[in-house]
Amino acid sequence: MDFEFTDEQKMVRDMAKRFANEEIQPFARENDIKGRFPADIIKKMGPLGFLGATIPAKYGGAGLDFIGGAIIFEEVGRACSSVRTILSVQLSLVGITLLNWGNEGQKQKYLPSLCRGEILGCFALTEPDAGSDAANIKTSAVKKGDGWILNGSKTWISNGGIADISIVFAQTDPSKMHKGITAFIIKKHTPGFTSRVIRGKLGLRSSYTAELFLEDCLVSDDDLLGEIGEGFNIAMTALDNGRYGVAAGCVGIIQGCIDACVKYSNERRQFNKPIASFQLVQDMIARMVVDRDAARLLVYRAGDLKNKGNKNTLETSIAKYFASEAAVRAATDAIQVHGGYGYSNEYPVERYLRDAKVSTIYEGTSQIQKLIIGEHILGVKAFV
């Protein structure tokens, strides 16, 4: 693995950093307080190639490798995790999934518009009674003529309700359990397909999260993504990409904590000297720096495997587990460095903590990541 960025990656880093500093960060606090979806920011990301970063140019993407994609996720995550979440869903869970599993017609129909930001997508797997146990989804799809009738509900769907297209997973043959799950592409205004926004979230307040409801929702055979019964495999490969985006975004949260603490600790004076000179303040910041470097290298290792087309479930889970937990540690310490001011939204560190916490839950909890790691190392499943 080469640790030197290519010229293209350096250009992407500089562009993403500038965009994050100028277009995202100045509005992050107000968007968080008001729970305002940053539609204007997302629109601006399209022409820069961020929304289609790792999608080939033939489908309207920027054609970057996965390290380039991680650089964008990190810089956007440093500025605002809500925006990074929207980006991760659009690119990692929807765009790359369509690229890998869609037929040529579906790719041509949806990918260019997704990359330009003309349409938004969401990934609807989680249900009220099927979170970590994704194989146990209850949403059903019953064949009818040249289409399917879907019934069921989904919850905690990022971009849900405002997405123009949704990748929805349903059980087409319950007797086959997880091998009976199939994926469908459902357009926003399809009859029987409705949503309800989820309010009162701890963090990611300017992202849009919703419940989705399917009541005798009719979709055609053309809306089938992949083959019948391939849904579970589609979902698991998509989550490998989603977890990668989360991990890279968490590196950005840690970097944001470091930036805030370095600035504050050099300005804040106690006992007639800046608190940056206090040994225990330096201890907390040093731990953030070590966690940032370790998390970033784990992300890049997973990205290098993705670039080579090699299996990377283990490495991606390790990166997601470590980076998300490290982001929570960094944000907790960052609040401590800021003292009472860190407990208010006058400074960004309390938002970093609220936003970081969900990264240990969605795209597979930290506990699920440890079970994935354990299964790979021990060769034994914790559950069947």
Q: Residue 109's domain is classified under what CATH number?
A: 1.10.540.10
E strand intervals along the chain: 121-124, 140-144, 147-158, 165-171, 181-187, 193-197, 209-220, 224-225, 269-270, 273-274
Q: Which two tokens stand for residue 310?
A: 């090699």
363 flagged as catalytic? yes
Q: E strand or H helix at 330, and its extent?
A: helix 313-338
Q: How confident is the prediction along the chain (384 residues), in pLDDT tens digits per residue?
A: 678 999 999 999 999 999 999 999 999 999 999 999 999 999 999 999 999 999 999 999 999 999 999 999 999 999 999 999 999 999 999 999 999 999 999 999 999 999 999 999 999 999 999 888 888 899 999 999 999 999 999 999 999 999 999 999 999 999 999 999 999 999 999 999 999 999 999 999 999 999 999 999 999 999 999 999 999 999 999 999 999 999 999 999 999 999 999 999 999 999 999 999 999 999 999 999 999 999 999 999 999 999 999 999 999 999 999 999 999 999 999 999 999 999 999 999 999 999 999 999 999 999 999 999 999 999 998 875
Does any domain span residue 326?
yes
Contact, 169 vs 139, CB < 8 A? Answer: yes
Tokens 């990656």 found at: 9
Cα distance between residue 5 and residue 11, in whole Å? 9
Same domain, 130 and 192: yes
Boundary residue ending a domain (194, 209, 231): 231
Q: Look at residue 2 and give its three-state secondary structure.
A: coil
Same domain, 290 and 310: yes
Same domain, 245 and 287: yes
- DSSP code, position 3: -
Active-site residue, from 74, 104, 363, 375:
363
Please give the backbone phi and psi of residue 181, each rounded to the nearest 5 degrees, phi first.
-85, 140
Closest by Cα among 64, 160, 352, 122 to 72: 64
Does any domain span residue 2?
no
Same domain, 115 and 209: no
Cα distance between residue 190 and residue 381, in whole Å? 39
Does any domain span residue 102?
yes
Does any domain span residue 384?
no
Does any domain span residue 25?
yes
Give the CATH number, domain containing residue 141: 2.40.110.10
Nearest-Å Rg of the Cα atoms of the chain is 21
Cα distance between residue 93 and residue 98, in whole Å? 9
Does any domain span residue 257?
yes
Per residue, the 3-state secondary structure of 104-158, as one string, reads: HHHHHHHHHHHHHCCCCEEEECCECCECCCHHHCCCEEEEECCEEEEEEEEEEEE
- pLDDT value for 38: 97
Closest by Cα among 367, 351, 365 to 131: 365
Tokens 């992407």 found at: 12
State whether the Cα torsion 119-240-1-73 is positive or negative.
positive
Does any domain span residue 137?
yes
Give the CATH number, domain containing residue 283: 1.20.140.10
Residue range(s) defining the domain that contains residue 116: 7-120
Same domain, 326 and 215: no
Contact, 74 vs 247, CB < 8 A? Answer: no
Same domain, 273 and 359: yes
Cα angle 51, 314, 233 (rounded to 5 degrees) comes to: 65
CB neighbour class for 334 (10 Å; exposed up to 12, middle 13-18, buried from 19) = buried
Same domain, 274 and 302: yes
User: Cβ neighbours of residue 378 under 8 Å, at least 6 residues apart?
Assistant: none
Same domain, 257 and 358: yes
Q: E strand or H helix at 331, and its extent?
A: helix 313-338
Boundary residue ending a domain (199, 231, 263): 231
**Number of domains making up the chain:** 3
pTM: 0.95
First to last CA, the chain: 35
Same domain, 49 and 68: yes
Closest by Cα among 168, 150, 151 to 210: 168
Same domain, 11 and 40: yes
Does any domain span residue 361?
yes
- pLDDT value for 384: 59
Same domain, 256 and 141: no
Contact, 360 vs 332, CB < 8 A? Answer: no
Q: Which amino acid is at 268?
A: R
Boundary residue ending a domain (231, 259, 278): 231
Same domain, 158 and 66: no
For helices 81-88 and 25-34, give the axis angle rounded to 10 degrees.
Answer: 90
